[in-house]
Structure formats: C-alpha cells, structure tokens
Amino acid sequence: MPARALALGAALTATAVLAATGAAVGAPVPIGSGPAAAVTALPAPARVATPNVASRAVRPEPFPGLQAAQLPVLSAVAQGVAAGQVPVNLTPALTAARRDVPLPFRDGCDLSFTAEVSPPCSYGDSTATTRVVAFGDSHAAQWFPALNAAAVQEHWKLENLSKATCPPLLLPLLSPDLGRTFRECEAWRASVLARIARERPALVILDMARHYGPEYHFAVYSPAWVSALADMVRRLRSTGARVLVFGPTPKPPGTCLTACPSTSLTWRPAPHRSSTRSACRGQPPNERPCSALAAPTSTSRPGSAR
C-alpha cells in the first residue's frame, strides 16, 4: 500500500505541478479582451499496483500511471502557449500577481540569507504518517501550491525546507548578497540532511534555480554541478527516501503585461542576460512601454523569492 500511494501521489504531484506550470506560461491577466481560456478537466490517475519483477533486466515504470496522467496537462499547456490574445478569465489578475505569494515565503519557511536552521514548516495533512520533503533554494518553495494540494489529497505531511540562493548541492559558493563565502548555506544544508536522516521521509523533492551566474563561483550543468547533484541524490536515498529532481520553474518575462491587458502579445528577449522584455501589438498610446514596466524584475536573484 505505501508503494501504491507514493506512485499515485507522484503522478498527482506531477499533474498538479504541470498544471501550475501551464498557468504560469499563460501569463495570468483576467482583464483582457481575448477569448476565455478553456478549462481542462484533469482526471485523477488510476491506482496502478507496482508490478512484481522477477528479473533485474526488466525495470518497472518508476511511477505507474504518471505518463498517462500528464498527457492532458501537456495538451492544455500547448494550447495555452499557442494563444495570441490575453484571455478574460485567467487567475490571478496580473495586477495582483506580485501579492500572490506561496505560504512559505510569508511564514518564514523560505529562509533568509543569514538563517541557518529551518523551523518546523509542516503543511498538508498534519495527522499523516507519510512524510514528504521539498528541499532546495526558493525555487523548491515555488512548487508549494501544487505540492500542498497533492499532500492534502494524498494525506501526506509536507515539509518545505528552502533557503534563498542556496541550492541543495554540496558545492562551495559565494553569496553576492553577503559579499563572502556563503557559510549560512553550508550550515543550513548540513542541518537539513541531519533532519532528513532523523525524520526518514518517504519522498524528497529536490529543486533549484538553473540560472545562477559566475558570481556564485559555480557553473550550472558543469561536471562539478552534475556530480554534486548525483551525490546529493545518493545521500538522500541512503536514508530510505525516494528522490524526485524537478526541472526549473518558468521564469516570467517581466511585469509588462499590466500595460497590455486588452491586446495581442509577442515576446522578444532583451539584448542582455539579466532581463527580458516583451512587446504589445496595438498598445494604446496612453499606456507605458513594456520595457519600462519590466525593469523591476531584471535584478532578481535566482533563489531569492519569485
């Protein structure tokens, strides 16, 4: 039964996560004049038992039902990407998006630069015996709405263990914000590993930003980065936990859609790495240009808030 529950839960989590990704890609602006976006019904994946495998040469699907569960989500995301006008029914309104912050960012469970130990940070079903941990920089906490919904439905106790600009890899790094070696990150990672070894969660979900720059003194996807990720997965598995590594969360192109609530949209990257602009076709002359409105997001750190 625990294996079945985890397999189903992983499928539901992936479905919820992909749905959240689709909402982000869709650029939420419910004050547009475009056609209403279709609401896709997402069926719950069937409860599939993990097969008994007599031969080691045959590998069962790690999470039975996951592939079938994600197909309608991928289809809905593809339809959203193809949309050329701002729909009238997206949630939240873009004007409210900055205030639409997941709970860990508001209750102290996404740690600041100088904090070293996470508080309890328990969500989902508080009475559950199955424990799931989200571990990483603030990009791990960005998955909280989808993960918490899955935790409530599947009766998991969910713990959010995240820290700003501190990827869950045992790599030495500098903090551009602190201007020195990020000692607090090293101490926090050690405390999380000790906590996981002590609490023995059934599943650990790892995630981190993929756009850290050279100012952090490591390179994403470099051999050292890949080796550190593999090492972390091995460490976590040694506690008896299953491990899922999530890909990067969507990085919105800026806030300029507030200037384009009723127009068609096209995106174009800015000429420098740290920011992205977008253009509004048919932008009314009394509205501010998108490039001016996009500026506040150009200096955001990869693991610090949204």
The pairs formed by 45-52 with CB atoms below 8 angstroms and a separation of 24 or more are: 45/8, 45/11, 45/12, 45/15, 45/69, 47/4, 47/8, 48/4, 48/7, 48/8, 49/4, 50/3, 50/4, 50/7
What's the mean pLDDT in 111-136? 96
Over residues 145-176, the pLDDT tens digits come to: 999 999 999 999 999 999 999 999 999 999 99
Question: In this structure, is residue 184 part of a structural domain?
Answer: no
In a domain, 211, yes or no: no
The answer to whether position 160 is within a domain reads no
Question: How many domains is the chain built from?
Answer: 2
Domain end call among 39, 60, 89: 89
Specify the higher pLDDT residue, 14 or 293.
14
Residue 197 lies in a domain: no
Domain-located, residue 63: yes
Look up residue 177 and give its amino acid: D
For residue 269, give its domain range.
256-297
Instruction: Answer yes or no: is 141 within a domain.
Output: no
Of 72, 89, 106, which marks where a domain is finished?
Answer: 89
pLDDT of residue 264: 52
Domain edge (last residue) among 66, 89, 112: 89
Residue 96 lies in a domain: no
d(CA 218, CA 212) in angstroms, rounded, equals 8
Overall average pLDDT of the 166-194 stretch:
97
In a domain, 103, yes or no: no
